[in-house]
Structure 1
Amino acid sequence: MIRLLVIIAVVGFLTCIVTLGGAVALGGRDIAAQGWDRWSWSDRDWNIGWDEHGQRHGSWRNHHKDDPEWATTTREIAWDGATALMLDVPGEVTFTQAPEGPGKLTVTGPKRSVDTLTLSGGRLTDGVSHTGGRLKIILTAPKVTRFELKGVDRLNIEAYDQDSLEISTTGMAKVTGQGKTKALKLNMTGAGDADLAGLDAESAEVSISGAAEATIAPRTSAKLDISGSGEVDLKTRPLKLEKNVSGSGEVRELES
């Protein structure tokens, strides 16, 4: 078995060398004249985005650098009073619970995306294809208790204090959170990551399908359901623990 793995590794390495050599041979003149810098792909040059059909693709930032429609802008949107935030745009969200009163969204990103954003029933959408990366979104509202993320969305929850909190993620979404709640419900599909060690919860229900990872800190009870290679890391020892693992997943319990 080890010998087979070594052979595969060597063959792969040689294939990479041959491919690189071919690229140099084909582009040798341009490389010699303009250097390797012109041929590098850095985070400054390449954007990953999604179109209106949810298809992932990339684009050159420099291609739009002089287009005013791609200039960075900030827009405030009055929160519509919904108890859930659902993203239909790639976003990096910071949520801070506010006292009673009207809430608001502050969104920063390419003008062509920000100007077309609409909010209805807590669902944020836009009318253009996305090639500008994640929008930066700050939500300040009093009674938001449910969040839905997908793709590579990011969510940071600060100063949370509600009876319940429900988070659903698909893809490679990432969540962090601090505060307290009586009942936490976390549903994860894909390979996302949820670090809720800073959330003081009385009870927690976690359902993972895929390779997602969750860190939680329930005090009274925890019900954990893992299908696939997902992992749950318990930072507390709840009085009642129910777990169901199918596949290579794992529940890491706090050692006494």
Structure 2
Amino acid sequence: MSLSVAGLCGVITALASAQDWVEGGDLPWTGLSWVRTSWAGASRSCTALPGANKTGSRERRTADLAWSGSDAVMIRIPAQVHFRPGPSPKASVTGDADIVEHVRLRDGQLAWDTAEWGHAIDCLQPDDLVVQLSGPAVTAWTVSGSAALDLSDLHQDVVRITARGSGAVTASGDVRDVAVEAAGSGQVDLGRLVTQTATANLHGGGNLRLADAKQESLRLTLHGSGAVSAGGTAHEVSLDSSGSGRADLGRLVADRASATVRGSGDVDLAPRQDADISVSGSAVVRLHGTVARINSHVSGSGQVKQVP
């Protein structure tokens, strides 16, 4: 009997510990609600890692990282990463002293120094490590896992953002062309990034917010239960959606809009000259304002509505 009770207590303790890590907080520098991933499956490796144990050393230190700059940066550790353009490459990491010594920036990859520490990806909260980067323009960023990336005051021709997992990306400044590839449940907030053209492919349950600004074109692919929102004006808007996603583009006044919507999606558009809409399934597409020409095809119980 004593063994059974001990085993049950161990299970309850493990579940309680996992729950503590599942509960999220707020990122102070974005205001976005943070969704933590469960680390229960990695708990055995977590307890074996110095510095990942909350009861261990809490001494914090800052260390410089060797970085000569690069066109692309891949973030493979759970950290808050801040980038600001500057004349010369600089990089530093701040966090628990036992953890900082295992962080490396090699060939544009921000990662642990050993494979063993690679298993700590779910053991740390993103605010445990803060990485500061500064240097010439980086044109491609990749965020994996639960990392958080903040790009400040960008002024460049192009930038490509790839987000995989539950992480968060924010950006500000002005960029001529932006491309977003997102898979998972992450958040990409480009509400303070002014662009001329934007292309985005979302897979899963993530969210994308674009700036309320004047732009030439916006091309969106939405697969899953994710959501995208944008405002301002555009010459052309195109949308390909499948699943139960939400496209909140009723505040984006466009000359022309085309949309192919499959599934149970919910779409708002605001074209003025031309609207080409195809709906299959139970999706609903609302066209805001007066549209000069509407070409629509509906298959199933879906609807194309005109609203004020």
What range describes the TM-score normalised by the shorter chain of this pair? Answer: 0.7 to 0.9
- Matching of residues 39-58 of structure 1 within 5 Å: 56-57=42-43
Q: CA deviation at 1:246?
A: 0.4
> Contact (CA 8 Å) 2:200, 2:221: kept in 1 or not?
yes
- Aligned: 1:225 with 2:221: yes
Provide the C-alpha distance between the structure 2 equivalents of 1:221 and 1:85, rounded to a whole number of angstroms: 27
**What's the counterpart of residue 73 of structure 1?**
61
- Please say if 1:237 is aligned against 2:207: no
Moved more, 126-135 or 170-179: 126-135
Write the distance in 2 (CA, Å) between the matches of 1:180 and 1:210.
27
Q: Take 2:106 and 2:92, find their aligned partners in 1: how far apart are those partners?
A: 15
Gaps of 5+ in 2: 10-16, 25-35, 254-308
Contact 1:105–1:139 under 8 Å retained in 2: yes
Distance 1:229 1:243 in 2: 15
Where do 5+ consecutive residues of structure 1 fail to align?
Answer: 1-22, 28-38
Across the aligned residues of Structure 1 and Structure 2, the Cα RMSD in angstroms comes to 2.8
TM-score by length of 1: 0.73
Q: Count how many residue pairs are aligned between Structure 1 and Structure 2.
A: 208
Letter in 2 for 1:189: A
Give the 3 Å change call, closer, same or farther, for CA 49–215 of structure 1 in structure 2: closer
Match of 1:88 among 60, 76, 79: 76
Q: Distance in 2 between matches of 1:215 and 1:159?
A: 17
Deviation at 1:116, TM superposition (A): 2.4
- What amino acid maps onto 1:171 in structure 2? G
Distance 1:208 1:143 in 2: 25
Aligned partner of 2:107 in structure 1 is 121
Aligned partners of 1:56 and 1:212: how far apart in 2? Answer: 24
C-alpha distance in structure 2 between counterparts of 1:133 and 1:197, whole Å: 25
In the TM superposition, residue 137 of structure 1 has moved relative to its aligned partner by: 0.7
Q: Decide which structure has greater helix share.
A: 1
Q: How far apart are the structure 2 equivalents of 1:207 and 1:42?
A: 33
Give the one of 85, 97, 104 matched to 1:111: 97
Q: Cα–Cα, structure 1 residues 117 and 50, in superposed 2: closer, same or farther, change >3 Å?
A: farther
- Tell me: higher relative CO, structure 1 or 2? Use CA pairs within 8 A at least 6 residues apart: 1
Q: Displacement, 1:228?
A: 0.5
Shift of 1:221: 0.3
What is the aligned partner in structure 2 of residue 63 from structure 1?
55
1:73 to partner: Cα distance: 1.4
Residue matched to 1:205:
199
**Alpha carbons 1:80, 1:119 under 8 Å: kept:** no
Counting aligned pairs with the same residue, the percent is 25
Identify the residue that residue 35 of structure 1 maps to in structure 2.
none
